Structure 1
Amino acid sequence: MSRVTPKRATAEQESDEQIEVIATGEAEEDDYTVDSASTATGIDTSFRDIPQSIQVVPRQVIEDRNTRTVQETVETVSGVVDNGSNLGVPTQSLTIRGFEQSGNFRNGYRDATRFDIAGGTNTIEQIEVLKGPASIQFGQIEPGGVVNVITRQPLNEPYYSLTFEAGNFDFYQPIIDLSGPLTADDKVLYRFIASYESAGSFQDFVETDFITVAPSITLNISDRTKLNFYYEYLDFNGDPPISYAVLNDGSLTPRDRHLSYPDFALADVTTQKLGYILNHEFNENWQIRNNLAVVLSDTDNREIVGASLVDESFLALEAYDADYSSDNYFGQIDLVGEFETGTIAHQLVAGFDFNIRDDENLYNFDTDLPLLDIFNPDYNISEPDYVPFFQNEGTTESYGVFLQDRIEFTNNLKLLIGGRYDWISSERETSDFGGSTPGITENDDDAFSPRIGLVYQPSDTVSLYSSYSRSFVTSGGTNADGREFEPTRGTQYEVGVRTEFLDDRLSTNLAAYHLTKTNVTTTDPDNIQFSIQTGEQRSQGIELDVTGEILPGWNIIASYAYTDAEVTADNDTPEGNQLPNVPENQASLWTTYEIQRGDLQGLGFGLGLFYIGERQGDLDNSFQINDYLRTDSALYYRRNRLKTAINIRNLFDIDYVRSSFADEIYIERGEPFTIVGSVGWEF
Structure 2
Amino acid sequence: MKPSLPFRPTLLAVAIATSTSLAYSEETNTDTESLDTLDTLEVKGQMYRNTATKTQLDPEETPQVISIVSSEELEERSVESLNQALRYTAAINTELRGGAITRLDQFNTRGFDNDLVYYDGLPLLYNQQFLQAQVDATAVEQIEVFKGPASTLYGSMPPGGMVNLISKAPQKESKSSVEIGLGSDSKKEVSFDSTGALSDNINYRVLGLVRNKDGQANTSTEERIMIAPSLDITLSENTLLNINMYYQNDPSMGVYAPLPGVGTVYVNDTYGQLDSDTFLGDENFETSEREVLFFGYKLSHQLNDSWNFLQNARFTTADIYQETAFVYGVGDDGTGYRYAYATDEESTALVIDNQLSGFVDIGDAEHNILVGIDYSNIDSNYSDFDSAWDTTTGSYLNVPTINIYNPDNNQIDANALKASLIQGSDHDYETTTLGFYLQDQIRLDQWVLIAGGRYDQYDYKESGTLYYNAATENSSQNNFSGRLAALYELDNGLSPFVSYSQSFEPQAGKDTSGNSYVPTTSEQWETGVKYLGSGLAASIAAYEITKKDVLTADPNDLYNELQVGEIRSRGIELDASIALSQEVQISIAASIQDVEVTKDVTGIEGNTPIQIPEQQFSTWLSYLPNQGALVGSSFGAGIRYIGEMQMDAANTDTVPSYTLVDLSIGYDLAQLSPKWEGASVQFAVSNAFDETYFSCYSTDVCWYGADRSFELKGRYEF
Q: Secondary structure at the residue paired with 1:77?
A: coil
1:614 pairs, out of 644, 651, 654, with 644
* Aligned 1:16-415 pairs, distance under 5 A: 21-23=46-48, 38-84=50-96, 88-113=101-126, 115-183=131-199, 185=200, 187-238=201-252, 241=255, 243-248=257-262, 250-251=266-267, 253-311=274-332, 313-366=334-387, 367-368=396-397, 369-379=399-409, 380-383=411-414, 384=417, 385-410=420-445, 412-415=446-449
Counterpart of 2:12? none
From the superposition, tell whether residues 424 and 670 of structure 1 become closer, same or farther in structure 2 (CA, over 3 Å): same
Q: Would you say 1:418 and 2:452 are equivalent positions?
A: yes
Q: Quote the offset at 1:524 in angstroms.
A: 4.6
* Aligned 1:254-653 pairs, distance under 5 A: 254-311=275-332, 313-366=334-387, 367-368=396-397, 369-379=399-409, 380-383=411-414, 384=417, 385-410=420-445, 412-431=446-465, 435-502=467-534, 505-524=535-554, 529-638=559-668, 639=670, 640-653=677-690
Q: Quote the offset at 1:197 in angstroms.
A: 0.6
Aligned residues of 1:83 and 1:100 also touching (Cα < 8 A): no
Letter in 1 for 2:81: T
Letter in 1 for 2:550: V
Aligned residues of 1:240 and 1:263 also touching (Cα < 8 A): no
Q: Distance in 2 between matches of 1:76 and 1:14?
A: 21
Q: Quote the offset at 1:559 in angstroms.
A: 0.7
Q: Distance in 1 between matches of 2:235 and 2:92?
A: 40
Q: Distance in 2 between matches of 1:239 and 1:595?
A: 40
Q: Distance in 2 between matches of 1:473 and 1:131?
A: 16
Q: Distance in 1 between matches of 2:117 and 2:143?
A: 10
Aligned residues of 2:116 and 2:157 also touching (Cα < 8 A): no
Aligned residues of 2:298 and 2:310 also touching (Cα < 8 A): yes
Aligned residues of 1:4 and 1:22 also touching (Cα < 8 A): no
- Cα deviation 1:56-91 (Å, max 9, x = unaligned): 111111111111111111111100011436973443
Q: Quote the offset at 1:651 in angstroms.
A: 0.8
Question: Using CA pairs below 8 Å that are at least 6 residues apart, which structure has the higher relative contact order?
Answer: 2
Q: Quote the offset at 1:312 in angstroms.
A: 6.4
Q: Secondary structure at the residue paired with 2:304?
A: coil
| Structure 2: segments with no counterpart, 5+ residues | 1-19, 30-37, 268-272, 388-395, 671-676
Q: Secondary structure at the residue paired with 1:293?
A: strand
1:667 pairs, out of 686, 695, 702, with 702
**TM-score normalised by length of structure 1:** 0.92
From the superposition, tell whether residues 247 and 565 of structure 1 become closer, same or farther in structure 2 (CA, over 3 Å): same
Q: Distance in 1 between matches of 2:42 and 2:283?
A: 53
Q: Distance in 2 between matches of 1:15 and 1:509?
A: 22
Q: Distance in 1 between matches of 2:615 and 2:426?
A: 42
Between Structure 1 and Structure 2, which shows a larger proportion of strand residues? 1
Q: Quote the offset at 1:554 in angstroms.
A: 1.5
Aligned residues of 2:584 and 2:622 also touching (Cα < 8 A): yes
Aligned residues of 1:537 and 1:569 also touching (Cα < 8 A): yes
Q: Quote the offset at 1:443 in angstroms.
A: 1.2
Q: Distance in 2 between matches of 1:460 and 1:60?
A: 29
Aligned residues of 2:543 and 2:572 also touching (Cα < 8 A): yes
Q: Secondary structure at the residue paired with 1:198?
A: strand
- Cα deviation 1:511-536 (Å, max 9, x = unaligned): 00000110012245676653332210
- Cα deviation 1:258-290 (Å, max 9, x = unaligned): 111122101101111220001110122100011
Q: Quote the offset at 1:45 in angstroms.
A: 2.9
From the superposition, tell whether residues 240 and 77 of structure 1 become closer, same or farther in structure 2 (CA, over 3 Å): closer
Letter in 2 for 1:642: A
Letter in 2 for 1:430: G
From the superposition, tell whether residues 436 and 332 of structure 1 become closer, same or farther in structure 2 (CA, over 3 Å): same
Q: Secondary structure at the residue paired with 1:76?
A: coil
Aligned residues of 1:5 and 1:19 also touching (Cα < 8 A): no
Q: Distance in 1 between matches of 2:168 and 2:578?
A: 22
Q: Secondary structure at the residue paired with 1:136?
A: helix
Q: How many residues align?
A: 657
Q: Quote the offset at 1:257 in angstroms.
A: 1.3
Counterpart of 2:13? none
Greater displacement, 347-356 / 619-628: 619-628
Q: Distance in 2 between matches of 1:421 and 1:94?
A: 27
Aligned residues of 1:247 and 1:253 also touching (Cα < 8 A): no
Letter in 2 for 1:211: I
Greater displacement, 558-567 / 308-317: 308-317
Q: Would you say 1:679 and 2:710 are equivalent positions?
A: no
- Cα deviation 1:160-194 (Å, max 9, x = unaligned): 101101011100101110111111x2x11111100
- Cα deviation 1:342-386 (Å, max 9, x = unaligned): 111100000100010011011111132222110122332322132
Counterpart of 1:29? none
Aligned residues of 2:530 and 2:540 also touching (Cα < 8 A): yes
Aligned residues of 2:312 and 2:353 also touching (Cα < 8 A): yes
Q: Quote the offset at 1:460 in angstroms.
A: 4.5
From the superposition, tell whether residues 528 and 74 of structure 1 become closer, same or farther in structure 2 (CA, over 3 Å): closer
Counterpart of 2:9? none
Letter in 2 for 1:396: T
Q: Distance in 2 between matches of 1:216 and 1:193?
A: 9
Q: Distance in 1 between matches of 2:344 and 2:686?
A: 34
From the superposition, tell whether residues 371 and 472 of structure 1 become closer, same or farther in structure 2 (CA, over 3 Å): same
- Cα deviation 1:215-243 (Å, max 9, x = unaligned): 11110122321110111111112275364
Letter in 1 for 2:327: G
Q: Distance in 2 between matches of 1:262 and 1:307?
A: 18
Q: Quote the offset at 1:623 in angstroms.
A: 3.6
From the superposition, tell whether residues 642 and 455 of structure 1 become closer, same or farther in structure 2 (CA, over 3 Å): same
Q: Quote the offset at 1:295 in angstroms.
A: 2.2
Q: Distance in 2 between matches of 1:390 and 1:438?
A: 9
Letter in 2 for 1:633: L
Letter in 2 for 1:188: I
Greater displacement, 419-428 / 482-491: 482-491
Letter in 1 for 2:701: Y
Aligned residues of 1:584 and 1:613 also touching (Cα < 8 A): yes
Aligned residues of 1:116 and 1:269 also touching (Cα < 8 A): no
Indicate the percent of aligned positions where both proteins have the same amino acid.
26
**TM-score normalised by length of structure 2:** 0.88
Q: Quote the offset at 1:48 in angstroms.
A: 2.8
